[in-house]
Amino acid sequence: MTRDFPAALQTRIDTKTKPPGSLGRIEDLAAQIATLQARLDPRMERCQLTIFAADHGLADEGVSAFPAEVTRQMVLNFASGGAAANVFARAGGVALQVVNAGVRGGPFATEGVLDLPLGEGTASSLRGPALSPDESTRGLEEGARLGRAGDWDAMAFGEMGIGNTSAATLIAHRLLGLPVADLVGRGTGVDDKGLARKQEILERASARVPGTLSPEQVLQEFGGFEIAMVTGAMIAAAKARRLVLVDGFIATAAALLAVRMAPETRAALVFAHHSAEAGHGAVLAALGAQPLLHLGLRLGEGTGALLAWPLVKSAAAMLNEMASFAEAGVTDKS
């Protein structure tokens, strides 16, 4: 990128047939895309969503309204094309792949699921580290390999795993130093009694490991197999100058890990939406993020990222296809 690229880019945006700044956040998004690709005519046509699925030992402690077997059932639903993520991906022309990062019950060995399990679910972080150092390293590496694969302009990373809002809460809690009570949410829909139990379990899990932890240690102690892979994929996709559409609370917790491990990742991240999960706003604020959408979503799977994809495509199209004042023969402001 040349030294005069930022000025040339701003001129290109400001001389389109509109008052300067009148397209608001779309102009900012266009500038981010162009800067990431280091070209005034960025390409933004091809997007892939990868959904990483894994089970969590912490789910056995009673932190979720749904049993752990739902993770496996939902992977099969993704594979057959019946989930919300499948519907939104088809509507937006987004490619979708599903990865078994560590779901209980063994390999799926079925069309539509890529089996890359790190194990059959993590250990319970209430009892000990959720991931071993080897599992954490392999998760980051497998995610990075997928983040580099293909020829995508943008990539989104969804997740599925009963108990993973608890893992995300603990990650945010330990990286940001905020109380669990400020971050814990209802996840799959626990009632008030269930929410109180969830908070108490997460506080006990955190107390098991006192002191300051590195991002890598936080991932090992409290993370999930799918969170490790999403983290690695985000870092690698950003290094490949691919735009990364960040979904909801769990994906944003992975983005926080990614940025803490590799700060240059932040430039590639577009935060798709502000979810209804309690801790999401705090993590977004810590990342200096302004999400594109606020729709009350709390499903995960990459659904919010898929809904934001048309805005991303439109921002790049504005740079490439919208006429300038000179091209259109329209009088610029005096």
User: pLDDT tens across 92-147, in order?
Assistant: 999 999 999 999 999 999 999 999 999 999 999 999 999 999 999 999 999 999 99
Residues 225 and 108: their CA atoms lie apart, in Å, by 16
What one-letter code names the amino acid at 276?
A
Other Cβ atoms within 10 Å of 159 Cβ, number: 29
- pLDDT for res 334: 58
- What percentage of the chain reaches a pLDDT higher than 90? 93
Instruction: Kindly report the average pLDDT of the chain as a whole number.
Output: 96
Note the pTM of the prediction, 2 decimals.
0.97
Indicate which residues carry an active-site annotation.
301
pLDDT in tens, 171-219: 999 999 999 999 998 877 788 888 899 999 999 999 999 999 999 999 9
With a CB cutoff of 8 Å and minimum separation 6, the contacts of 83 are 74, 77, 301
Within a 13 Å sphere around the CA of 119, how many CA atoms are in the beta-carbon half?
17
Would you tell me how many other CB atoms lie within 10 Å of the CB of residue 80?
12
Domains and CATH numbers, the chain: 5-43+318-328 (1.10.1610.10), 47-313 (3.40.50.10210)
Q: How far apart are CA 259 and CA 267, in angstroms?
A: 9
